[in-house]
Amino acid sequence: MPNTTVPCQYRTGKTLGSGTYAIVKEAIHIKTGKYYACKVINKKLMEGREHMVRNEIAVLKRISSGNPNVVTLHDYFETSHNLYLCFDLCTGGELFDRICAKGNYYEADAAALVRTILTAVSYIHAAGIVHRDLKPENLLFRTPAEDADIMIADFGLSRIMEEEKLSLLTEICGTPGYMAPEIFLKTGHSKPVDVWAMGVVTYFLLAGYTPFDRDTPKAEMEAIIAGDYKFEPEEYWANVSPTARDFVRACLTIDPERRPTAQGALEHKWLAASTPHFVPDP
């Protein structure tokens, strides 16, 4: 892996987004004129754990080119203050914004997206990696086209960040909405947390809002731990089939040991090869 100390091979452009730990900027590789998304992570956030971060980056680099729906890490370098990770540039925006613009997804379109994302999740899991931060802000479209490929971004580093995340949660992070019960209970946070998050994402796709929305992060956490959600208000769920609801219910199984694996979730009948349009009773 190239490990130059000066990131002078790129010219940075506009800011594409920012998350909890990083700013992501458009970057042009000067020699080739190719565009990338460059994630700039301040080293202060990982004090004492740089070694773990580098290991994780190596893993990320190795696996990220193996699945068409995982953003590829192309380059990595650092300065004394920052780490720079250069990924495929996704120009189609976040799934989050598309859901908000549409209100919600048609069930068959939602099923197609969920199937693609879960296939990539299953691939990541088979490689021994847990994403831990699946949510519509981290699912990006490769191009602005309506039928653009969906890409999983922002994974691999979250294991190292997990502790901070819990303590930051109530302060700056905002919503814990996609986190599985076992994360709050501190009883484990491995592969099943990604399947839980996919349950929340699916609910959001179908209804246009998330299942555990509450007035405060604390109330939200309590609702998650209790698995307290409903397919309500009814007007938002009238066009959603029982099979889709059953899929969400399976992913939102409180006990991680009883929750389906990513592969198991893919075998659910909602994701079976052709999902017919559900026509509700008149």
Write down the least CB distance from residue 95 to ligand ADP, Å. 10
Q: Where are the alpha helices (DSSP H) in 127-191?
A: 158-168, 181-184
Q: Is 19 in the site for Mg ion (CB under 5 A)?
A: yes
Q: Which of 56, 92, 86 is nearest to 71 (CA)?
A: 86
Q: What, of ligand ADP, Mg ion, none, does residue 244 touch, CB below 5 to 8 Å by kind?
A: none
What DSSP character marks residue 149? Answer: P
CA–CA separation, 276 vs 243, rounded Å?
11
Contact 92, 141 (CB under 8 A): yes
Instruction: Give the rounded distance of the alpha carbon of 34 from its chain centre.
Output: 25
What residues have CB less than 8 Å from 83, skipping those under 6 apart? 40, 41, 43, 53, 57, 76
**Burial level of 15, CB count in 10 A (0-12/13-18/19+)?**
exposed
Q: Is 89 in the site for ligand ADP (CB under 6 A)?
A: yes
Q: Which string of x and - marks every residue 21-50 that binds ligand ADP (by CB under 6 A)?
A: xx-x------------x-x-----------
- Given 88, 133, 154, 194, the catalytic residue: 133
CA–CA separation, 71 vs 73, rounded Å?
7
Q: What, of ligand ADP, Mg ion, none, does residue 39 touch, CB below 5 to 8 Å by kind?
A: ligand ADP
Q: Is 75 in the site for ligand ADP (CB under 6 A)?
A: no
**Using CB under 6 A, which of 75, 78, 88, 182 touches ligand ADP?**
88
Write down the least CB distance from residue 178 to ligand ADP, Å. 12
* CB-based contacts of 227-230 (< 8 A; 24+ apart in sequence): 227/181, 227/252, 227/254, 229/203
Write down the least CB distance from residue 156 to Mg ion, Å. 12
Q: Single out the segment in contact with Mg ion by CB under 5 A; choices: 13-21, 110-118, 163-171, 210-218.
A: 13-21
Q: How many residues bind ligand ADP (CB under 6 A)?
A: 21
75 given a catalytic annotation:
no
Cα four-point dihedral sign 191, 255, 182, 226: positive
Residues 84-143 within binding reach of Mg ion (CB under 5 A): 138
39 marked as part of a ligand binding site: yes
Write down the least CB distance from residue 243 to ligand ADP, Å. 31
* Chain residues that interact with Mg ion, rule: CB under 5 A: 19, 138, 154
Residues recognised as catalytic: 133
* Chain residues that interact with ligand ADP, rule: CB under 6 A: 16-22, 24, 37, 39, 71, 87-90, 94, 137-138, 140, 153-154
